[in-house]
Chain A
């Protein structure tokens, strides 16, 4: 039982590049979400999903895209990376309690 896994752990992108942050959970949770963490700003919700095929926007969705084709996977896509997207990204899945992944540290140059 690995919980919530995220890949990669670190990534450096150039402005305008696209990439996908991977997230998977093996707890059969319906609810999954993506957060970004910036100094002094706490955890801000980007997108969330309440089940396969169902996604919705959070507080800061611009520049990001998600899809949920299976219960286990919830990838986050950066369409055209910008320096403002430099952050640490956390995926989470929730049953009774919310579990976070280890994070992806993204730098956009």
Chain B
């Protein structure tokens, strides 16, 4: 049972283009939605996160869009750069100190120069 579904599995974008990664969740108790970025040979690192009380959060070229009624959220990378080439994971978890985050299966992004 996959509680967080992520698509696409891989994505190729030209430099300067927009990269879009989508995630859908099932558990309505989730109330925190982070995105992680992982470079080859490294551990995942928090990129940006959102709570469902807002529909959008932007940090530089990275934006999370959140649709609570559809139980969907997405990561948009504007003006994609070759340095953005990495694997991106969405995740979801509920409140509380020990609530376990659930991860999507990841999207491998390649940005061509």
Contacts and interface: CB of A to CB of B under 8 A. Distances in A.
Interface string B36-51: 1000011111100100
Nearest to A98: B101
A30 B104 CA distance: 24
A53 to B, nearest CB: 14
Contacts of A45: 100
B94 interface: no
Which of B45, B98, B104 has most chain A Cβ within 10 Å? B98
Interface size class of B (residues with CB under 8 A): 20 to 34
28 contacts: A4-B43, A30-B98, A31-B97, A31-B98, A35-B103, A41-B105, A42-B89, A42-B104, A42-B105, A42-B106, A43-B44, A43-B106, A45-B100, A48-B98, A48-B100, A50-B98, A58-B100, A90-B43, A97-B34, A97-B46, A97-B49, A98-B34, A98-B46, A98-B101, A100-B43, A100-B44, A103-B41, A103-B43
Nearest to B10: A40
